């Protein structure tokens, strides 16, 4: 799966309205991308998993946790929808950030156990001189 396709699937989740299930998402992804995925394969991608979790934990509703809007309104206002969308994005990015911090800690322990110190790990990458390779 390409980064572009992952971004499309995350955008699909971000624009979702109504109840979101893995089956419904898989069907929508198949319609949108032409590729068939199952829950297990989509769940392997951190960004997709985080977007799904953020949506399920914060479904479209009016701020304040009321699942039904005030009687005068037919649904959440445009501003409320934007707030909900941004709250979902924050939850999604928090999940991704936590996973990356956990991965970094794991790498740090593994590097330390092999005698690699921070100075060694912070060395700059070797610059490739492409003009000399032609």
Following CA atoms 33, 81, 47, 35 in sequence, which dihedral angle do they give, to the nearest 10 degrees? -10
The Cα–Cα gap between 109 and 96 comes to: 20
The Cα–Cα gap between 16 and 20 comes to: 7
CB 80 within 8 Å of CB 62: yes
Task: Return the pLDDT at 118.
Answer: 86
CB 88 within 8 Å of CB 49: no
- The pLDDT of 29-35, averaged and rounded, is 89
Mean pLDDT, rounded, of the chain: 82
What confidence tens digit (pLDDT) does each residue in 68-95 have?
444 455 667 888 888 888 888 888 888 8
Q: Which residue has the higher pLDDT, 1 or 106?
A: 106
Query: By C-alpha distance, which of 31, 38, 55, 27 is closest to 1?
Result: 38
Length of the chain, please?
134
Placement of tokens 């390779």 in the chain:
133
What confidence tens digit (pLDDT) does each residue in 43-74 have?
889 889 988 988 888 765 444 444 444 445 56
């Amino acid at each position: 799966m390409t980064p572009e396709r992952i971004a499309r699937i995350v955008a699909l989740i971000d624009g979702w309205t109504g109840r979101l299930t893995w089956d419904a998402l898989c069907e929508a992804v198949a319609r949108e991308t032409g590729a068939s995925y199952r829950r297990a394969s989509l769940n392997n991608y951190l960004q997709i998993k985080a977007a799904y979790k953020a949506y399920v934990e914060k479904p479209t509703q009016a701020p304040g946790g009321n699942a039904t809007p005030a009687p005068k309104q037919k649904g959440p206002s445009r501003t409320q929808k934007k707030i909900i969308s941004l709250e979902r994005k924050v939850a999604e990015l928090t999940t991704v950030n936590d996973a990356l911090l956990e991965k970094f800690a794991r790498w740090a322990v593994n590097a330390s156990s092999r005698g690699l110190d921070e100075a060694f790990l912070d060395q700059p990458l070797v610059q490739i001189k492409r003009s000399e390779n032609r």
